[in-house]
Amino acid sequence: MKLHLLDHRHLNVLLGRERKQRAPDRDEPALDLMLKEILKKANQFVPSEAGSILLDDPIGKKEREELVFVACFGPGSSKLPGLRLSINTGIAGATYLSGKPYLSKNVKRDKMFYAKIDKISRFSTRSIICAPIIVENSIYGVIELINRKGKPNFTEEELKLLEIFAGYTSTLIQNVLDARKHIELAKRDGLTGLYNDRYFHTRLEREVRQVRRGQHDLILLFLDMDHFKGVNDQFGHLTGSHILQEVGDVLRKVVPVRGTTVARYGGDEFVIIFSQTTLEEVVQVADRIRTAIKKFPFSTVPINEKAKAETLQGRLTCSIGLASLKKHVGNGTSNSNIRHLLIRKADAAMYVAKDQGKDRICVAPPA
């Protein structure tokens, strides 16, 4: 039995339940291989001529709800991985919408049957059993078997067996999502929700390697809050923590998502990696950040129910330093040395901004 799978990158997108694409981590389960094994085992218990697993597309859900073939076997099944099917179409769609298993003993008499898939795969479907894949009360897709081998059609008992394998698939997907959640949490700063300094260093080293192999530049932005220590000392750590959370919110809103990594470096310092972006473009983004922080309506956290929040708008600003790998660092002896030098250059530029009066942007001097 030869199985055909959707490639790992596209399968990963279908598991992007947070509506964003991300690269799979090395430590997370190999979903594609596990789906393949589940379909293989289902066929061993209920021998069939063909079968498939379809998952919904969370990214395209708002515009059009579709199921995507992710694992298939049977004649002509090599043409199916990646093929999209409206949830309003066919037995797979009916199972997905109802959340209930479906048995069709004779598809020619079943008005829900969608014959176009047979035309694509050049296969002749006679009967189908299909079961929903449900994770935490949400339907993620379906698993189906087609044309029972050695029998005229499938039975109710075999449909129940397929439900068990749908349950295995649900558990597998839940395990993958849980693993991703834990891996992602380990990368995040607990206060702001931005990336933490540990992940920042890992990411920066990876970006440096890519830049040295290619032609594009790498820009590092170093940001330090002005007057933060005084505010923190005067109004307490609750206010200080609240301000840092709001700075994180500002950065999420202002900084473009694509080609950037935003992290809290420590204390009231933040760093942003810009890849495949020119220094001139980053200067413009930096100025938008500076302006947004200066205008943001920061306020104190009342120490008790009777106290009132005090406005801090205009009292807090930021100083920003920028350094370009190509223009300000050049070629070093190793990726690690280049990474450290880029950080030092951006950090030094930030301190120049502080020395020149704060609330400004400074670019590192040429290498």
Q: What is the pLDDT of residues 281-308, one digit of tens each?
A: 999 999 999 999 999 999 998 877 777 8
**Token pair in block for residue 118:** 């047979």
345-354 pLDDT, tens digit each? 999 999 999 9
First-to-last C-alpha distance (Å) of the chain: 61
Nearest by Cα to 32 from 130, 177, 166, 172 = 172
Judged against a pLDDT cut of 60, whether residue 23 lies above it is answered with: no
Buried b (16+ CB within 10 A) or exposed e, 136-154: eeebbbbbbbbbbeeeebb
Query: Residue 353: what residue type?
Result: A
Q: What is the pLDDT of residue 335?
A: 76
pLDDT at 215 over 60: yes
Entry field: residues in the chain: 367
- Domains of the chain, each with CATH number or no CATH: 3-187 (3.30.450.40), 197-363 (3.30.70.270)
pLDDT for residue 184: 78
**Class of residue 71 by CB neighbours under 10 A (exposed 0-12, middle 13-18, buried 19+):** buried
* Angstrom distance (rounded) from CA 24 to CA 35: 16
- For 59-111, how does the pLDDT look when each residue is reduced to its tens digit (9 = 90+)? 655 456 899 999 999 999 999 999 999 999 999 999 999 999 999 999 999 99
pLDDT digits (tens, 9 = 90+) for 216-226: 899 999 999 99
**Mean pLDDT along residues 1-16:** 75
The pLDDT score that the predictor gives to residue 173 is 85
Q: What's the pTM value of the predicted model, to 2 decimals?
A: 0.62
Pair 339, 203: CB distance under 8 Å: no
Amino acid at 103: L
Res 5 pLDDT > 90: no
Distance, in Å, from the CA atom of 323 to the CA atom of 310, rounded to the nearest integer, reads 36
